[in-house]
Amino acid sequence: MKNNILLLLFAFAALSCDRFSNKNEKEENQQRIVCISKQYSEIIFGLGAQKDIVAVDLSSTYPPEIKKLPTIGYHRALSSETILAMKPTCILHDNNIGPEHVVKQLEELKIPMKVFGKYQSTIEGTDSLIREMGSYFKKEVEADSLCKKMNSEMQTALQKTTNYKKKPKVLIIHFGRASNVYLVMTQKSTAAKMLEWAGGEMAVKDEKGMKQLSPEIVAAADPDIILLTDFGYDKLQENNEIEKLPGISATKAYKNKHIFRIEEHDLVYLGPRTGENVLLIQKLIHPDENP
């Protein structure tokens, strides 16, 4: 009996997972696009071209209203039938989807898929991507204004950076896995670029994008600022236990109370809000110059 109750509870918990249960409310005979890229998703919403989007992947979390759309799961753990159940007329993806057999199945079924041009992960590259997507969705004017906004915010941010006298050492921790091992963003990541634009430098120099590091390395890096990504920070905030994390209390950042929360997704790709996000990082890492 106990087992049956547990089973029912599990089924209930699974069924109530929020974004999987979102209703598919698009009418028949429309263009039906499934978008499996958080970067594309944000640009599409930025362009105001979301009317034909019927589903997105789980990592597409911006803007907040995107969470009302049905999801087809995590972009690296897809299932063909889940995608096809959305009756897509086109699948947009950025070549970062898997597992391989699902991509193969979709290709064999001749489901139209669209990948926009592969641009460098720079402001110029992002500008080109936004313009290409604007032209695809026939939203050239909106694309132009998105690019202008992004470029102008970037100019403002870069201008401010030239005025900063100090270059603080910043550690960006994607904390949310095991409690005493940190997943740290390093030199080759998009976050490192954004930090540089904001006038800071990475406290840990490593060629990988993200790396699991021991508390000893965190303490030895002795950063001036620590940026904790949202998931881990929100979990800690309730009990204010940041000082209990191994290695953290030995850092300058902890002693000066310079540990801040930041959205993880805002640091892993460049998009229309990148200028805005760099300005936000500047406020966090140069608090004296940005009161």
Partner 1 sequence: MKTPKPALLGLVLFILLLLTTLISVRFGAVNISNQEISDALVNIFSGKTLLDLNHRIFLYIRLPRVFMGILVGATLGVGGVLMQALFRNPIVEPGLVGTSSGAAFGAALYFVLGASFKIHLGEWTLPLAACIGGIISTAMVFYLSQSKQSGKNSVISLLLTGMAINALFLSGVGFLSYIARDPQARSITFWNLGTLSGSYWEGLFFVAIVTISGLLLSLRYAKKLNALMLGEEEAQLLGVNIKQLKMQVLLINVIMVAVSTAFVGVIGFVGLITPHLLRMISGSDNRILIWTGALLGAIVLTASDITARLLLSPAELPIGIVTSVIGAPIFIALLQKTNYSF
Q: How far is the CB of 114 from partner 1 (least distance, A)?
A: 17
Q: Determine how many CB atoms are found less than 10 A away from the CB of residue 91.
A: 24
Rg of the chain in Å (alpha carbons): 21
For residue 93 the two structure tokens come to 């993806």
Q: How far is the CB of 82 from partner 1 (least distance, A)?
A: 5
- Distance in angstroms (rounded) separating the CA atoms of residues 184 and 217: 10
Helix locations, the chain, DSSP H: 2-15, 38-47, 80-84, 100-108, 123-136, 140-163, 190-197, 215-221, 230-237, 252-255, 265-268, 274-285
- Residue nearer to partner 1 on the CB measure, 92 or 146: 92
- Residue nearer to partner 1 on the CB measure, 111 or 113: 111
Q: Which H or E run contains 185? A: strand 182-185
How deeply is 11 buried, as exposed, middle or buried, from its count of CB atoms within 10 A (0-12, 13-18, 19+)?
A: exposed
- Residue nearer to partner 1 on the CB measure, 14 or 240: 14
Q: What are phi and psi of 144, to 5 degrees?
A: -60, -45
- Residue nearer to partner 1 on the CB measure, 81 or 288: 81
CB contact at 8 A, 102 and 79: yes
Q: How far is the CB of 245 from partner 1 (least distance, A)?
A: 20
Q: How far is the CB of 25 from partner 1 (least distance, A)?
A: 14
Residues found near partner 1 in the complex (CB under 8 A): 3-4, 6-7, 10-11, 14-15, 17, 20, 70-74, 76-77, 79-82, 84-86, 96, 98-99, 101-102, 104-105, 108-111, 210, 212
Q: How far is the CB of 190 from partner 1 (least distance, A)?
A: 14
Query: Cα-Cα-Cα-Cα dihedral of 27, 30, 36, 42, to 10°?
Result: -90
Q: How far is the CB of 2 from partner 1 (least distance, A)?
A: 9
- Residue nearer to partner 1 on the CB measure, 68 or 76: 76
Q: How far is the CB of 202 from partner 1 (least distance, A)?
A: 19
- Residue nearer to partner 1 on the CB measure, 84 or 217: 84
Q: How far is the CB of 77 from partner 1 (least distance, A)?
A: 6
CB contact at 8 A, 220 and 248: no
- Residue nearer to partner 1 on the CB measure, 10 or 243: 10
Measured between alpha carbons, how far is residue 126 from residues 37, 113, 148, 224, 270 in Å?
14, 21, 12, 30, 7
- Residue nearer to partner 1 on the CB measure, 178 or 288: 178
